[in-house]
Amino acid sequence: MRTTSLALRRIVGLQITLLISAVSSLGQAPSPSGQVAAGEAGQVTCQRLADSSFATNTTVQAKVTGLDSAHLKQGKEVWFKVANGVIYPGCTLEADSVVYGRIMSVSSSKDPSGSELSLTFDHADCTGHDKQALKLRLIAVVGPPDQTHRMHDQTPVQVKGGVRSIESAVAGTNALDMELNPGGPPNTVQVGIVVGVPKLKLEPTAGPSCSDKLTSTDTKIQLGPGSELLLALTETR
């Protein structure tokens, strides 16, 4: 009886040891749901700007002398001159100062026909500080005068150096204002609006690394002289 009792105690002890080991292993191994959560936490969350707008006089109106995605490469730096001065916290942009962007991606296809161009704007020549870090978002695109004849037929628009002044146009009429934010408050720009550039679509923050993406059903993206990119400061920290 004593031998049987000793053997029984050993069996019970071994079972307890195995149970403790199994529980310990379960506690150390991540669960499938934990892995999914960790993966989601590691992803970059881009700030959504859809269904929002900015006051026209707070935007940077960057003058385009010509832009053709067929001649651009990923990583290339691009720069544009500012049409009207804007004052931001820590940065004053004067007229004809420069804002700098970088090509984050560019692609083209013939079948089906389409093209994509993503840019990020992160520096500007602020007064007294060249190439100062300044994160700007591309929120709107306005085509050249020959592509926006409806606005020009309704009212004269100031032209200086071949570039239209949106600020002057808005002051003189509500025609362009209505195009920049249809149905919205006056003197505001709807995020993602494209005026006078057929087939072009703008999706802020939708490109690589939350860059701002332009897409077209043409095989390349072109903006003629007199076009303007409207940029806005969306991050103040």
CA-to-CA dists, residue 65 to 78, 79, 169, 200, 228, angstroms: 12, 10, 20, 18, 9
Tokens representing 191? 């995020």
Let me know if residue 124 belongs to a domain: yes
* pLDDT tens for the chain, residues 1 to 237: 544 454 445 544 545 444 444 434 333 333 333 333 333 455 668 877 767 899 999 999 999 999 999 999 999 999 999 999 999 999 999 999 999 999 999 999 999 999 999 999 999 999 999 999 999 999 999 999 865 533 333 323 333 334 445 554 444 434 566 789 998 998 999 999 999 999 999 999 999 999 999 999 999 999 999 999 999 998 754
> Same domain, yes or no, for 13 and 97?
no
> What phi, psi does 32 have (nearest 5°)?
-55, -40
**How many domains would you assign to the chain?**
2
pLDDT for position 141 = 97
Tell whether 82 is covered by a domain.
yes
Residues 37 and 135 in one domain: no
Q: Is the pTM of this model over 0.75?
A: no
Q: Which structural domain range is residue 176 located in? A: 53-233
Same domain? For 115 and 169 the reply is: yes
Q: Give the amino acid at 1.
A: M
Place of tokens 């939708």: 206
User: 48 in a domain, yes or no?
Assistant: no
**Helix ranges, the chain (H):** 2-28, 32-42, 149-154, 166-172, 175-180
Asked, for residue 47, whether it belongs to a domain, the answer is no
Per the domain annotation, does 99 fall within a domain? yes
Are residues 223 and 135 part of one domain? yes
